[in-house]
Every structure is written in structure tokens, then in C-alpha cells.
Amino acid sequence: MAGDVTFGFAEWAGPLMLVSGTNVTFNGNGHTLFGQGDLYWDGLGGNGGVTKPAPFIRVNNAGSFSNVRILNAPERSIAVKGSPVTISGITIDNSLGDLPNSRSNGLPAGHNTDGFGISNANNVIIQNSSVHNQDDCLAVNGGTNITFQNNVCVGGHGISIGSIASNVVVNNVHITGNTVMNNTNGLRIKTDATATASTVSNIVYTNNKLLGITQFGVLIDQSYPDTLGTPGTGVV
């Protein structure tokens, strides 16, 4: 990138940006992608209200994606399906969404503003990045050989495996050297209560620091979307 980019307001499904291909190198050179999420936020995220383009960025490329600032994503920030891909030096700043606005009925205006979401991707490295948001910092919904290392997560729901739906495989995930601050949860594995024929295995947590966690430091829960409800039996 040679400069900043501001995306105009429009109610549609998204994504606002797609990076796709083989051996693609994307370098933001420290520039900013302005999502103007403050024009969309209503405290509902993807659960109603204004239609919000999501994700902001879909990374489908094999290669690298680095050195860019994402400011005020309308909803989910980066969805990853590329294999193999290394993502580094990313700043996701949805901190303005912590505050209520005229449409959010006193709730934080930002909602469902996940940082990184991984599904059906293999050989993914996400490193040296920061996320301030109102949902999961990382959500691994499917994939193998995934590393999430040396990142900082502020204000959201923590680092999550899941939620795991039916017919999903998650294997060999390394969560290493991250700092999770002022999140509701620190490290979490969540599986849908109704999920069947899915497996979660070889999840390794090493040298992660949890500060100011308001609910659970570590949570393994098979009753999503409930918390500590009746567990399902379809994920092993």
C-alpha cells in the first residue's frame, strides 16, 4: 500500500476487501484501512439492525499479509482461509466500539467485531499483531497447523477455539506468548451444544499472560451458545 484507504458506507454483505491468489505478498507499509464502523455500529453486530459488511477483509491467499492498521471494522475484521499464509504486524483498532452511541441503547456500539477468524485453513501463522475489539481476538472455527504467537488482545472475549459446529476438524493449534488484557475470557474452547462429528485435538498453550480477565481465565465449554449449560456430546 502507498497510502491510507477509506471505505464508503453501504449496507451489504461484504467483504470490503478480498486478497486471493497463490504466493501473494500484501504489505500495508503501516498504512490504515478505515472501515467507518462507527457509521454502522448499533450494538447488535450481525444479530440485526444495520446490515454490516463482514468480514472487513477476507484473506484467501497463500503467501503473506502484513503491516496494516484496520480502524473501525463494521463487524468481523479478518477472515482467513488461505493456506499456507503468514499474517504479521497487524493492528486492529475497534476501541471506539467500546462506547455506546445513539443507536446502541446504552450498550457498547461495537458487537461481533472479531479480530481474526480461521475456518478450513491449514498452515496459518498469525504473529506480532494487536487487537482491541468487542468479541473474540482469535476464533479458530476449523483448520490444522495453526500458530498464534506474540500478539496482544484487549477488550474482547479472549482467544477462542470455536465455536465448533458440526463436521469440523481442528488439530495442532499453538497459542504462544500472547497477552490478553481486560477481556471477558482469557483462553477458551467452545463447542456448539448441538454439534456432531467434529474433533478438537492437540491444542497447546504456552507462556500466555492474562490480565484483568472479568469472567473465566480458562474455559472449556461444550454448551455454546450457553455458558456452562447442558453439554453436547458430538465433539471429541
- C-alpha 154/C-alpha 110 separation (Å) is 14
Sign of CA dihedral 58, 130, 115, 87: positive
C-alpha cell at 98: 467500546
For the annotated catalytic residues, the residue numbers are 157
Smallest CA-to-CA distance from 98 within 180, 156, 52, 152 is with: 156
**Is residue 53 within 8 Å of 12, Cβ to Cβ?**
yes
Pairwise CA distance, residues 222 & 10, whole Å: 37
**What distance lies between CA 1 and its chain's CA centroid?**
23
Phi, psi of 96, deg, nearest 5: -60, -25
Distance separating alpha carbons of residues 69 and 81, to the nearest angstrom: 20
For 220, the grid coordinates are 472449556
Q: How far apart are CA 61 and CA 75, in angstroms?
A: 21
